[in-house]
């Protein structure tokens, strides 16, 4: 290892290239910038492909044809049921536990019941099968935990509903409108993958030891829980709630900016000119607000967005509109981040499989900043 490699310090690993990947590109490959999944621009995928097609793309390398999609979707629908032991556990976990903690435990339990539990960590085909099952079962676990924690009867999955509609049905007991289903499906597509973000990196680090795919997903869930990553969508909604009404928005944001308060849902480590996912979701926020007949939150969000963008040069990221989108669907704030995980599991799994297919142990270095070498004194001489 060269001295330059050891002594060069990048706080937070910013700008450090730690992996090669064929899964996602957050700078674009056509010179226009932006986000691509396996060469497809997110703007081209949005509203044209479903979450199921997107998950297939990430796990299998390209968009499916009609027959491939039929078979893939069929496998997901048949895999939605979760073990009774997990249902019991989800009901016994205290109601005040954060849903992300419950989800972390759920994925760990699911690993014990996976038919490929004894497959080698590097078995590519087994890992793909595990990933497909997790996509289906994590959604069920999140919906079941939400209802059990509220003392509500479980709503079993329906095989006649697609992934997005079925989840909303299991949470609410009602089949969603087409506008709501389409908006939710789009949010899953936009959350599915984002290159080497913190949770994906933690997943790759975990499996680089030749640990299994479930361990990698559990590590990713723990990482996503933090408010500087997946939890940001929860914090974005809290901003809107603190403002409360459109007539207070302008004065509230000016006061917050004067106090140098950090406004969650704005700025991005990579996107300096704006998150393309936020622009796409905003249109659906407006459409859903119109459908439910209440645009109050849009009128609160707009002056805040304009002020933070113009005065701090921090455009909104995907968490800013997604918080409103999920509120319009009557989804509780506590499951915003689990929904993020439910979408991102396809991306996490694709990265884990890629890591295990071409593995090298992740072992970075640190620059020591402690005291210099010193002798060990007898205990009676220590102050």
Phi, psi of 266 (to 5 degrees): -130, 145
Single out the catalytic residue among 163, 194, 229, 268.
268
Q: What pLDDT is recorded for position 18?
A: 86
Q: Quick one: pLDDT at residue 49?
A: 97
**Alpha helices per DSSP H over 93-123:** 99-113
Residue 348 three-state SS: helix
Nearest-angstrom CA–CA distance, 296 and 307: 18
**For residue 95, which of 148, 134, 149 has the smallest C-alpha distance?**
149
Residue with tokens 């009774």: 84
- Identify the pLDDT of residue 2: 43
User: At CB < 8 A and 24+ separation, what contacts does 23-32 make?
Assistant: 23/58, 23/193, 23/195, 23/347, 23/350, 23/351, 23/354, 24/193, 24/194, 24/195, 24/347, 25/195, 26/194, 26/195, 26/270, 26/271, 27/270
pLDDT for 5? 54
Is residue 319 among the annotated active site residues? yes
Phi, psi at residue 25, to the nearest 5°?
-135, 120
CA distance linking residue 276 with residue 349, whole number of Å: 23
Can you give the pLDDT at residue 32?
Answer: 62
- Residues 218 and 213: their CA atoms lie apart, in Å, by 9
Q: Counting every residue, how long is the chain?
A: 383
pLDDT one digit per residue (tens) for the chain, 383 residues: 444 455 788 887 877 888 899 999 988 666 666 899 999 999 999 989 999 999 999 999 999 999 999 999 999 999 999 999 999 999 999 999 999 999 999 999 999 999 999 999 999 999 999 999 999 999 999 999 999 999 999 999 999 999 999 999 999 999 999 999 999 999 999 999 999 999 999 999 999 999 999 999 999 999 999 888 877 788 889 999 999 899 999 999 999 999 998 888 897 767 667 788 888 999 999 999 999 999 999 999 999 999 999 999 999 988 899 999 999 999 999 999 999 999 999 999 999 999 999 999 999 888 899 999 999 999 999 98
Distance CA 338, CA 310 (A): 32
- Is 268 marked active-site? yes
CA distances from 320 to 220, 239, 261 (A): 22, 10, 16
Ordered structural domains, the chain, with CATH: 24-177+188-226+338-357 (1.10.580.10), 232-328 (1.10.230.10)
Q: What is the pLDDT of residue 4?
A: 44
Candidates 182, 185, 275, 319; catalytic one: 319
Report the alpha-carbon distance of residue 268 to residue 26 in Å, rounded. 12
CA angle, residues 209, 80, 82, in degrees to nearest 5: 70
Give the whole-angstrom CA distance, residue 317 versus residue 327: 17
Distance (Å, whole) CA 348 – CA 367 = 29
């Amino acid at each position: 290892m060269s001295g330059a490699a050891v002594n060069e310090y990048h706080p937070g690993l910013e700008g450090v290239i730690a992996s090669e990947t064929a899964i996602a590109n957050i700078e674009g490959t056509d010179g226009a910038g932006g986000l691509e999944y396996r060469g497809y621009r997110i703007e081209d995928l949005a509203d044209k492909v479903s979450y199921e097609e997107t998950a297939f793309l990430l796990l299998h390398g390209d968009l499916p044809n009609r027959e491939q999609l039929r078979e893939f979707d069929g496998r997901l629908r048949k895999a939605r049921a979760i073990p009774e032991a997990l249902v019991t556990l989800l009901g016994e976990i205290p109601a005040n536990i954060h849903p992300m903690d419950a989800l972390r435990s759920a994925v760990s339990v699911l690993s014990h019941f996976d038919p490929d539990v004894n497959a080698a960590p590097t078995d590519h085909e087994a890992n793909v099968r595990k990933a497909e099952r997790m996509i289906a079962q994590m959604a069920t676990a999140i919906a079941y935990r939400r209802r059990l924690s509220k003392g509500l009867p479980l709503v079993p999955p329906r095989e006649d509903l697609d992934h997005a509609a079925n989840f909303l049905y299991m949470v609410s007991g009602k089949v969603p409108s087409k506008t709501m289903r389409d908006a939710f499906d789009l949010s899953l597509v936009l959350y599915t993958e984002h290159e080497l973000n913190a949770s994906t990196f933690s997943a790759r680090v975990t499996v680089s030891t030749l640990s299994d795919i479930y361990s990698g997903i559990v590590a990713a869930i723990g990482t996503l829980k933090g408010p500087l990553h997946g939890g940001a969508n929860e914090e974005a909604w809290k901003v809107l709630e603190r403002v409360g009404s459109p007539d207070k928005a302008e004065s509230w944001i000016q006061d917050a900016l004067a106090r140098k308060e950090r406004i969650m849902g704005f700025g991005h480590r990579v996107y300096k000119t704006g998150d393309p996912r936020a622009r796409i979701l905003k249109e659906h926020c407006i459409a859903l607000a119109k459908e439910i007949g209440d645009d109050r939150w849009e009128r609160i969000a707009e002056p805040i967005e304009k002020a933070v963008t113009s005065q701090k040069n921090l455009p909104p990221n995907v968490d800013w509109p997604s918080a409103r989108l999920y509120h319009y669907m009557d989804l509780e704030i506590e499951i915003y981040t689990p929904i993020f995980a439910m979408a991102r599991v396809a991306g996490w799994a694709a990265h884990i499989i890629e890591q295990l297919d071409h593995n090298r142990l992740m072992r970075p270095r640190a620059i020591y900043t402690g005291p210099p070498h010193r002798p060990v004194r007898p205990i009676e001489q220590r102050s």
